A and B are shown apart, each in its own frame.
Chain A
Amino acid sequence: MAISICNPSDVCDVKAAGAGRSLKPVSQLVACILIILFFMFYAGPKIGQLSWFKPMADFIEERDIKANMYFYTEVEEFSEASINLENTMAYPPGAAR
């Protein structure tokens, strides 16, 4: 992305100047942090206990799957799947039959 529509430093100057004059930005920051903590420690685990989500949540925990990773090299299960299937194709059961 070679494109930057806004000029970030202008935005920052305005914000920084405002921050010096008012507590509003700080209170906004604190509110955002509190919302994240609420989601992480209360809402998230609560929803995780709902019947439609719990089996998957427990399964991910039990198998220690990195369910929030983005590329196949980051997830151990992909390595396992790959080597199993490659060997299945190279040495198929009943090859001599």
Chain B
Amino acid sequence: MAETNGSSNPNDQIVVDRASAKISDLWKKEDYWAIWLGFFILLVGIIIYFNNPPADLQKKIGDANAILAAESAKAPFKTIAWYKAVDAKKKLKATDSAIGKKIKSFTNKPHGWSSNPIQAFIMGEETAGAKKAAATPKFDAAKATEAEALAAAKTAEQAAAQAGFTNESLNASAIKAIDDWRSAHKKTSSAKKKAGAKPYNQIPSLIGLMIVMAVFFGIGWKVMGHNFAKFVKGFTFVFLIAVLAYVASSQGTMKQWGIGYAAWAILFGLIISNTVGTPKWVMEAVQTEYYIKTGLVLLGAEILFGKILSIGVPGIFVAWVVTPIVLVSTYLFGQKIIKVPSKTLNITVSADMSVCGVSAAIATASACRAKKEELTLAVGLSMVFTSIMMVAMPAFIKAVGMPEILGGAWMGGTIDATGAVAAAGAFLGDRALYVAATIKMIQNVLIGVIAFFVAVYWTVRVDNVPGQKVPVTEIWLRFPKFVLGFIGASIIFSLLYQSMGGDAGYALVDHGAIRGMSRIFRGWFFCLAFVSIGLATNFRELKEQFSGGKPLILYVCGQSFNLLLTLLMAYIMFYKVFPEITARI
């Protein structure tokens, strides 16, 4: 339905919707191909992981839950046994099966590195041995510290138990000692990863993955009536730049700065297209929408609606009440006060700022058919402010002595990128991390709802002449169909997760079909999309979008409002209305 108008008026490059539909749309339109390809990957994930569950899954879950029930009835705080039972459940992952490990190895992105980029692809026996030798003393020291902390925690818990858990002072000592043990436990886990350095050569699997993805997208491309061979040829270049983007994002310093693959992919693409120029033979594979829509269908599977109840009512209020209020207010502010010239830019920046950065920007921009420069701008703004807020917010929270849980909820609701939320939350403490991460996760779930409503609003209101009534059939014809795949994947996976029960869902859905399949390919597809955006954009158009600094003003004003409202709501919910939930955490 989306076709380019060939007239010479100023809108001649803008795609218009022609309200017609044919049965052949099912295999001729990329919206449908995004659905078919996305669901194919999800189906493969389900078949693989549901047939390779962890050994004795139900028995292990039952045993752990029995311990949890007994411990929660016994003590007024989380005991050592309580934590160990949760740790036992955490280990139940279908991705740890033999086939899961093979898939991980085949689809791995370039590895982390600090000064030698070759290590992103290859690490020899000698280097791995040296890394291991350097990390082992730290790991041994961490293990010893953890053992000491565990012994101290056991002593403190025993003392509290002997007093029948009625002595407040002994209970507080036990809680503190157990917290110290958990903190030491985390440090040991990180040290263990570094001490487990193994040699690798990622190049053959990257070549294999490139071929698989080229054929995967190429088949759809061919059926849609294009040239398979030309696509595959161009795809090698796009894939190569995507690999370079991952290499840059996996560098140690860039990780610390919170600069991820999306920013690098756009930047590398922009540099090429604005200096030496994107080679013409590559353009056949510069297909932003094809990659992004397929990635969004996969993203839908990762949006599990059951997660919104993770932290009870306070979480819903902080994430699902504040966020839409901020989104709508910022959009209206942009339209009425700042007068942002493009509605699609306005809603993309508003969603990017109020929901969860890049993922929300991608979904919203696709739902309202924003220009690629508008998405680039939104992603750029999000990156800059995420880096600033990741450092500034925990420092401010510590400086003013704000309670951990309030600080965590505040950061979770306001910092855009999830990785930065994890870093800032963990920097404050475990409780802050749990709350921050959970609030952000609930906000992540909102992406699907927002993308759906933005798509409907744009179809019914924005893309029409004012006052014109649009029949339902017309709405259906104009509606971006991949959004249905996105929402459908979310509903199916949410139902699967809920029907299995949280623990089995964690093992088979979350740590199976989602993290072992959907997440991996979705990351690659988004990276390919961002490379394509860069390769097809020139700086002049990007500069035009930034005219008058309006997007920056919009972001700053919206984020300021977000900071105030989220803090207020978090305080009311966690400290005034539901203090008992706060006490449990």
Contacts and interface: CB of A to CB of B under 8 A. Distances in A.
B420 A11 contact: no
Interface in B502-543: 502, 506, 510-511, 514-515, 518-519, 523, 535-538, 541
A62 B187 contact: yes
Given A78-B441, A82-B310, A6 B537 contact: yes
B13 to A, nearest CB: 5
Interface in B418-438: 418-420, 422-427, 433-438
A9 to B, nearest CB: 5
Given A3-B14, A74-B419, A91-B69, A44 B283 contact: no
Nearest to B288: A1
B257 A68 contact: yes
B585 A1 contact: no
Contact of B418 (A11, A33, A62, A72): A72
A86 B310 contact: yes
B262 A70 contact: yes
Interface residues of A, number: 72
Contacts of B187: 62-63
Interface in B371-406: 371-373, 375, 390-391, 394-395
Contact of B433 (A18, A41, A57, A81): A81
B143 interface: no
Interface in A22-72: 25-26, 28-29, 32-33, 36, 40-41, 44-45, 48, 52-53, 55-57, 59-72
B558 interface: no
Contacts of A82: 307, 310, 437-438, 441
Given A56-B391, A68-B255, A26 B276 contact: yes
A91 B82 contact: yes
A89 B310 contact: yes
Contact of B302 (A48, A60, A73, A81): A73
A21 B568 CA distance: 61
Contacts, number: 284
Given A64-B190, A71-B359, A18 B438 contact: no
A15 B276 contact: yes
Interface residues of B, number: 115
B311 A85 contact: yes
A16 B538 contact: no
A87 B273 contact: no
Given A3-B370, A16-B280, A63-B426, A85 B15 contact: no
Query: Which has the most chain A C-beta neighbours within 10 Å: B65, B255, B299?
Result: B255
B77 A68 contact: no
Given A2-B289, A86-B310, A53 B391 contact: yes
Nearest to B514: A73
A61 to B, nearest CB: 7
Contacts of A36: 248, 267
B369 interface: yes
Nearest to A32: B271
Contacts of A62: 187, 190
Contact of A3 (B276, B356, B371, B425): B371
A83 B423 contact: no
B190 A63 contact: yes
A83 to B, nearest CB: 6
B8 interface: no
A2 B51 CA distance: 38
B198 interface: no
Contact of A70 (B76, B358, B423): B358
B53 interface: no
B268 to A, nearest CB: 9
B263 to A, nearest CB: 8
A90 B68 contact: yes
Contacts of A96: 72-74
B194 A67 contact: no
12 contacts: A1-B375, A4-B13, A5-B14, A12-B273, A25-B276, A25-B277, A40-B251, A64-B193, A83-B89, A94-B76, A95-B73, A97-B76
Q: 4 closest A-B pairs (Cβ-Cβ)? A: A15-B277, A81-B437, A8-B536, A94-B76
Given A71-B356, A77-B425, 17 more contacts: A4-B372, A5-B373, A44-B253, A56-B424, A57-B253, A59-B426, A63-B426, A66-B419, A68-B259, A70-B356, A72-B440, A73-B515, A75-B419, A75-B422, A81-B438, A91-B65, A96-B73
